[in-house]
Amino acid sequence: MYLIDTDILIYSLKGNENVIKNFRSHADSPKAISVISYGEMVFGAKKSQRVHENLAKVYRLREIFPILEVTTAIMDSFGELKAELQQNGVTVDDFDLLIGSTALSLGYTVVTNNARHFSKIPGLKVENWSI
């Protein structure tokens, strides 16, 4: 089961060959999007030159992939991880940490091109489909 990060969604919409190849090779695997990534996609579409066209693409993603909401259990994981990382002098962007907490809570692997940030989260499985 895969949780697709914002950058991979953008690469897929732009036709990145490696990302498309990986989506095809994992066609039978369950995939979802965090509500955080969904919000980032809406933001990107709203600030773009082609707002209506890009929003239509974002709304299509919503039809293709389940959108995972942030739950209390995910927030518990987030709080624990953030405290642990901070105690160890490690910082991870809150949105990335929420996406990682979602994946950890549900047993998903995060698919991202931002493996460097996500690899700081203990126990998180990460794959990069853009290479």
Can you give the pLDDT at residue 24? Answer: 97
Can you give the pLDDT at residue 104? Answer: 97
Can you give the pLDDT at residue 39? Answer: 97
Q: Does the pTM exceed 0.75?
A: yes
Give 128's pLDDT tier (boundaries 50, 70, 90).
very high
Total of domains in the chain: 1
Rounded Cα distance, 89 and 31, in Å: 32
Per residue in 39-97, pLDDT (tens digit) is 999 999 999 999 999 999 999 999 999 999 999 999 999 999 999 999 999 999 999 99
CA-CA distances (angstroms) from residue 54 to 67, 91, 109?
18, 32, 27
For residue 103, give its domain range.
Answer: 2-127
CATH number of the domain within which 25 lies: 3.40.50.1010
